[in-house]
Structure 1
Amino acid sequence: MAASPEGRFPRNRLHTVRPAPGPLGLALVVFEQPHGARGRVWSSLTGELGDDLPVPVSGDTVLTADGRWLVDLDDDGGSEVGTLVARRVDGSETRQLTPGRDPYVLRGLEAGADGAHVLATLVDEAGHHLVLIPLDDPSKARTIFSSVEEAWWGHLSADGALASVDTTEHNPGVRRAAVTVVDTATGDVVGVADDLPAGPVRAVRFSPSPGDPRVLLWTERSGYSRPAIWDPLTGARRDYELSDLAGETLVLDWSPERGEILVVHVDAGVHRLLCIDEQTGDARAVLDDAGSFADPDVASVWPYYWKSFLGGDGRPVVLTSSATTPLHARQVMTDGSVETVVKPAAVPPGRTFASVVTPSADGTPVHFWWATPAGGARGTIVEVHGGPNLVTVDTYRPELQAWLDHGFAVAALNYRGSVTFGQAYREGFWGGASDGEIADIDAAVGWLRGQGLADPATTFITGPSFGGHLSLLSVGRLPDRFAGALAVVAMADWEAAWAEVNPAIRKSWTGFLSMKPDGTADPRRIDEVLARFSAVSHVDDVTASVWLHQGRRDTRTPPTQAQRYVDRLREAGGDVVIDWFDAGHEPTGVEGMEVEFGRSLELVEATLAGRRWDGLPGLYEK
């Protein structure tokens, strides 16, 4: 198997920094390893970065405010269904936090500022729940909110008296959330912030000052995300229109003491890190560097894979990356200077990516990043992210740089459904059976053809999860565009998967698939849409070679549906290969990423040499 260039997949790359609440200003720093991850504790007040922790961590692990405990989901190797455990940072004790409770999916986890509690947002077959757990006596855990509708990302006030949750119970079946705040002692609702039915509101955090009940929100009254500050006890609310900023603002953090709100301004995919003055609404740039300053997540424990934030004393801690520079952390000092907290991992020089916007078939502007290799392209790789409510930002992606190293042009597409381009674009995939996304992919390929790229004989589409779904769907619905599909943890047969996916995923997609163009929900549409949505329905039209890389423990894109697609495509005479890894929704560790890229390159090289994929040995049989 061909290997990627030396050092393109660094073994100790920064994965994320997760700040803990409270006055100590602690944060968990997570580094990628060949298998899994390692963690260290950093203080934003003293600048001290501790030694490697002797306990396992992940990108979702929570550090308690006092720095004593690490809390994470134990999910049997990546299934995403499990139970919470707390581990002492010194490795001396492991404690079950929900004894006697059946396994569940986690959709939010926050440590209390007192160091004594965690607030878990759990999803099981009965619904979505906020559970307040005392770390010293988990048997006294209490469910303080439940809903059969979606409820995500619970937050605790600094004094622990209030909790918020983003929920759709005020607008059932429509994925436009309102923020409900409850009294943690009684579970009584004390306030609701909403802009319904037109737009969602989500909570970012409570004020870090004890006794201050206010909540930082992001809202979309203008159609684009903006910050707001709301008092659930009085109903007082201030919205920051930021009318001089075109495009979106990602609302990241807030320091009432300094009177500043940290946001990322996004215009045509390009990031600027800004602080908004709480009193005047004026914006100032934190840094003028190119690159990204936050990377949104979806359907997970945290709303971001990583993001910049305000440290314990309110000074910005800047997490940043670009196409050529891996993620690293810097802190803005009191005098305005910037000090490096975690250096970027060393990698070979890479190629920068340009931002492009081109019209789709219906005129919708579609964004993507693209780059070409030095010396001309041997072929083209079109990458589509998962989600769909994710986004490709200007960040270091070892696999994309490795494709460029091997002589392939790369385009990373933000199809409709992507975040950071406004509400209409984010919701643009609702109920459409991926018609809009397929049109966007076609438009991007057409633009690349105009640049002398994307010859159908040497063009490949790839992506994970929903991006895998779109990769498989594209070679069925756009058979004259691609020579191959490299689909990772793909949803290939939605009908076969529906009963097997975890309850959090099923509830989300019930809303997405039942939507009608007018923004109302009709659950009767789901059966009809599932058939059109499924790549398996289009296997008779597939002429490209197809690879699936699937996890045996995956509860988002379960094994059965993937195998059913492979069987159907084989029956239709297609060239298809499936490789199985022993984990959940993604291969684990840097080594897993590198192996996955190596296999993808091997398959692409086989096509260029005129060979089928189904004659090659299995990835894990070598």
Structure 2
Amino acid sequence: MDAIPAEIDAVLSRRFDLPHLLTVRPVVGDVDLALLIEDHEAGSRARIWRGGEEPSAPLPFPVGVGAILTRDGKWIVDLDDGGGSEVGTLVATAVDGSESIDLTPGRPAFVLRGIEASYDGAAIVVTVVDEEGFHVLVIPAEPWGPPRTVYSSPIEAWYGQISPDGALVSVDTTDHNPGVRRPALTVVATHTLETVAVLDDLPAGPVRGVRFSPIAGDPRILANTERTGYARPVIWDFLSGARQDFSLPDLVGEVIPLDWDAQRGRVLAAHVEDGIHRLLELSEADGGARVVAEGGSFANPDVADLHPFQWASYYAPDGAVRMVRSSWDSPLRIEQADESGGRVLIAPAPVPPGTPMRSTMVRSADGTRVQLWLGVPEGREPLGTVLEVHGGPNLVMIDGYDPSAQAWIDAGFAYAALNFRGSVTFGQAFREGFWGSGGDREIEDVAAAIGWLRDQGLADPRSTFITGASFGGHLTLLSVGRLPDLFAGGLAHVAVADWTAAIAEMNPAVRSVWTTWVPPEMVERYSAISYTEHVTASVWINQGAIDTRTPIVGVQRFVDELGERGGDVVMDVFDGGHEPTGLHYLEHTQRRMTELALRTLEGRRWNSNQ
């Protein structure tokens, strides 16, 4: 790796110097207890936080970002996947590190796609995926006992949840339309294994569970429905079939339910319009909404992971609103809403001052509006432009802290982030807008973003770079092949370039949906290997050695073919899986990308061996 200028090197080191909060996982139930998971130098670590007290010291072992804490505060429940492969077994580890218990003994390794404790802490429900299908397991927790399978299907099903008394589970199911990610909400009796009820708003829209009512004898579930084309909360009585829909016709965009204070008849929700967040509280009594807070983001939706949100605001056991919030220039923090706005409970990490981003809506080729974030270095002409495209594709770039984005601006580059079709929080049609297009819609959105940036005096093709991870890595490689005149370089993390090879080796949790999204007749058009002859940009691929979502085989042929054609291509392989953590890793990766971008500005190739 080349040395980068001293002034850039110094600020880059400071940007990745301090641990910061990645997520908070509150304990379900009436105890004010949460697991705070932070990014540290060598990976993610956790602290235990009791309401009204200071967080504990970091626990003496690594903790994954999807882990949960038991109600008694004694155990961390997490997937043991050998360092990031996402395939492993469920383990409970004592918070002092003195003991570990295999919670799924004798069961073949699996991918975890849902984990939650019951309200009384007596059981844990997990959704696991193996080569046989998708299964919901209930595991006794006080004391630990053998797991029992209460639901199984060969068709995609995620995010099992459990009723307060453990008699029922709900799960987001798709067996009514295999391979199509438009779930129904299915409730199953844990003792008889019989289906109790199904909430299905199709074809108008999918339904996803949020949580059971914690009130004894209350047969209701808070769910998220898209029957209007946009997310709206619904409270469903699964015994009578009655439902209370929060239609909120005066609100444009999505209203995404986050949590439910059933005792007081309140629903906490994120209102998202054109990618901008407001935190709302909805009343069961009259269906009305009040604004709790504005500014920054209040939740970050996830997909294909252990929880439906990477982090989200929530209710404390006493009904207080805990605002988990962030912005591009400020790390995650926790505030308690009050009449003055918010009282800080967990302060943001004191990172170096950052640059806020501004949002604009850009029109794509067919008139579809797509959101673009932009930040530029203050008081100087940018050295170049970096466009980031997120993974998923059903994820989203929110107004949330990203040290890599700030590091690009620190180094003198303009930084932009695009929410292309496939992104969540912009409605069902937008989220599904990439279906069946063979990459055309995403490519049109990338081109539209670059066009708008050019109108701002940015995005000179000689100094413009595209970057992204996972699906964003795929889109990076696809863009340098299908839009070769727009980019000087592509920086792809855990990417896919050959969908036939990648799908064959993917873990079972994601293989089924990608088989639908990239059917055989679209593989060639969707694969970046089909366009290597057009690539003129320099390309860097950063791939995980044990990644089971986007295995190395999915990019190896691209690297080989582009190199044989005389293209400028480099592949680095790191020791980890699909979602590596650790400030040291992030700093190393950012330093590597910065060094390569500066090479381009000096007229040099990235692969010095070619």
- When normalised by structure 1's length, the TM-score is 0.95
Query: Which whole-Å deviations, capped at 9, do the CAs of 1:224-279 have from their partners, x for residues lacking one?
Result: 10000011112111100011110111210000122110001111111001101111
In structure 1, C-alpha distance between the alignment counterparts of 2:270 and 2:587, rounded to whole Å: 31
In structure 2, C-alpha distance between the alignment counterparts of 1:174 and 1:369, rounded to whole Å: 30
2:173 matches 1:167: yes
2:329 matches 1:324: yes
Alignment partner of 1:73: what SS?
strand
Deviation at 1:323, TM superposition (A): 1.3
Alignment of 1:293-308 (within 5 A): 293-308=298-313
Query: Which whole-Å deviations, capped at 9, do the CAs of 1:429-478 have from their partners, x for residues lacking one?
Result: 11211110000000000011111111100000000000000000000000
In structure 1, C-alpha distance between the alignment counterparts of 2:340 and 2:64, rounded to whole Å: 32
Q: Is 2:12–2:591's contact at 8 Å kept on the other side of the alignment?
A: no
Query: Which whole-Å deviations, capped at 9, do the CAs of 1:81-113 have from their partners, x for residues lacking one?
Result: 001001122323210011101001111011122
Deviation at 1:587, TM superposition (A): 3.1
Q: Is 1:373–1:408's contact at 8 Å kept on the other side of the alignment?
A: yes
Deviation at 1:177, TM superposition (A): 0.4
Alignment of 1:368-517 (within 5 A): 368-374=372-378, 375-513=380-518
Q: Is 1:171–1:197's contact at 8 Å kept on the other side of the alignment?
A: no
Instruction: Answer with 193-202 or 54-63: which moved more.
Output: 54-63
Deviation at 1:609, TM superposition (A): 0.3
Alignment of 1:115-264 (within 5 A): 115-135=121-141, 140-264=146-270
In structure 1, C-alpha distance between the alignment counterparts of 2:447 and 2:176, rounded to whole Å: 37
In structure 1, C-alpha distance between the alignment counterparts of 2:455 and 2:363, rounded to whole Å: 14
Hey, what does 1:348 align to over in structure 2?
Answer: 352
Hey, what does 1:7 align to over in structure 2?
Answer: 14
Query: Which whole-Å deviations, capped at 9, do the CAs of 1:156-190 have from their partners, x for residues lacking one?
Result: 11111110000101222321100000111111111
Hey, what does 1:32 align to over in structure 2?
Answer: 39
Deviation at 1:616, TM superposition (A): 6.8
Q: Is 1:14–1:342's contact at 8 Å kept on the other side of the alignment?
A: no
Deviation at 1:5, TM superposition (A): 3.1
In structure 1, C-alpha distance between the alignment counterparts of 2:423 and 2:304, rounded to whole Å: 14
Given the superposition, is the C-alpha separation of residues 280 and 336 from structure 1 closer, same or farther in structure 2, using an over 3 Å criterion? farther
2:550 matches 1:557: yes
Alignment partner of 2:395: what SS?
coil
Q: Is 1:30–1:40's contact at 8 Å kept on the other side of the alignment?
A: yes
Paired letter, 1:534: S
In structure 2, C-alpha distance between the alignment counterparts of 1:558 and 1:138, rounded to whole Å: 35
Q: Is 1:98–1:138's contact at 8 Å kept on the other side of the alignment?
A: no
Deviation at 1:66, TM superposition (A): 2.1
Structure 1 residue corresponding to 2:343, chosen from 336, 339, 351: 339
In structure 2, C-alpha distance between the alignment counterparts of 1:572 and 1:248, rounded to whole Å: 47
Deviation at 1:7, TM superposition (A): 2.4
Instruction: Answer with 560-569 or 443-452: which moved more.
Output: 560-569
Paired letter, 1:564: R
Paired letter, 1:377: P
2:580 matches 1:594: no
Given the superposition, is the C-alpha separation of residues 337 and 424 from structure 1 closer, same or farther in structure 2, using an over 3 Å criterion? closer
What is the alpha-carbon root mean square deviation over aligned residues?
A: 1.5
Hey, what does 2:367 align to over in structure 1?
Answer: 363
Q: Is 1:331–1:341's contact at 8 Å kept on the other side of the alignment?
A: yes
Query: Which whole-Å deviations, capped at 9, do the CAs of 1:410-446 have from their partners, x for residues lacking one?
Result: 1100000000000000000112111100000000000
Stretches of structure 1 that go unaligned for 5 or more consecutive residues are 514-525, 618-622
Query: Which whole-Å deviations, capped at 9, do the CAs of 1:334-357 have from their partners, x for residues lacking one?
Result: x66632121111122222111111
In structure 1, C-alpha distance between the alignment counterparts of 2:347 and 2:456, rounded to whole Å: 36
Query: Which whole-Å deviations, capped at 9, do the CAs of 1:550-587 have from their partners, x for residues lacking one?
Result: 00000011012222211111111110000110000133
Deviation at 1:136, TM superposition (A): 5.2
Alignment of 1:77-96 (within 5 A): 77-96=83-102
Deviation at 1:20, TM superposition (A): 1.0
Alignment partner of 2:278: what SS?
strand
Alignment partner of 1:140: what SS?
coil
In structure 2, C-alpha distance between the alignment counterparts of 1:511 and 1:316, rounded to whole Å: 40
Alignment partner of 1:271: what SS?
strand
Paired letter, 1:567: D
In structure 2, C-alpha distance between the alignment counterparts of 1:616 and 1:588, rounded to whole Å: 30
Paired letter, 1:87: T
Paired letter, 1:118: I
Hey, what does 1:605 align to over in structure 2?
Answer: 598
Instruction: Answer with 35-44 or 245-254: which moved more.
Output: 35-44
Structure 2 residue corresponding to 1:579, chosen from 572, 577, 585: 572
Q: Is 1:97–1:135's contact at 8 Å kept on the other side of the alignment?
A: no
Given the superposition, is the C-alpha separation of residues 139 and 531 from structure 1 closer, same or farther in structure 2, using an over 3 Å criterion? farther
In structure 2, C-alpha distance between the alignment counterparts of 1:211 and 1:89, rounded to whole Å: 34
Given the superposition, is the C-alpha separation of residues 68 and 210 from structure 1 closer, same or farther in structure 2, using an over 3 Å criterion? farther
Deviation at 1:139, TM superposition (A): 5.5
2:23 matches 1:16: yes
In structure 1, C-alpha distance between the alignment counterparts of 2:58 and 2:475, rounded to whole Å: 39
Structure 1 residue corresponding to 2:529, chosen from 518, 521, 536: 536
Deviation at 1:332, TM superposition (A): 2.6
In structure 2, C-alpha distance between the alignment counterparts of 1:497 and 1:604, rounded to whole Å: 28
Instruction: Answer with 108-117 or 321-330: which moved more.
Output: 108-117
In structure 1, C-alpha distance between the alignment counterparts of 2:191 and 2:533, rounded to whole Å: 59
Given the superposition, is the C-alpha separation of residues 316 and 9 from structure 1 closer, same or farther in structure 2, using an over 3 Å criterion? same
In structure 2, C-alpha distance between the alignment counterparts of 1:489 and 1:300, rounded to whole Å: 16
Q: Is 1:201–1:219's contact at 8 Å kept on the other side of the alignment?
A: yes
Deviation at 1:362, TM superposition (A): 0.9
Q: Is 1:545–1:613's contact at 8 Å kept on the other side of the alignment?
A: yes
Paired letter, 2:37: V
Alignment of 1:515-534 (within 5 A): 526-534=519-527
Paired letter, 1:203: G
Paired letter, 1:555: T
Paired letter, 2:97: G
- When normalised by structure 2's length, the TM-score is 0.96
In structure 2, C-alpha distance between the alignment counterparts of 1:245 and 1:327, rounded to whole Å: 27
Q: Is 1:26–1:312's contact at 8 Å kept on the other side of the alignment?
A: no
Given the superposition, is the C-alpha separation of residues 202 and 270 from structure 1 closer, same or farther in structure 2, using an over 3 Å criterion? same
Stretches of structure 2 that go unaligned for 5 or more consecutive residues are none
In structure 2, C-alpha distance between the alignment counterparts of 1:530 and 1:342, rounded to whole Å: 47
Query: Which whole-Å deviations, capped at 9, do the CAs of 1:375-424 have from their partners, x for residues lacking one?
Result: 12111000000000000001111111111111111110000000000000
Paired letter, 1:615: S
**How many aligned residue pairs are there?**
602
Paired letter, 1:356: T
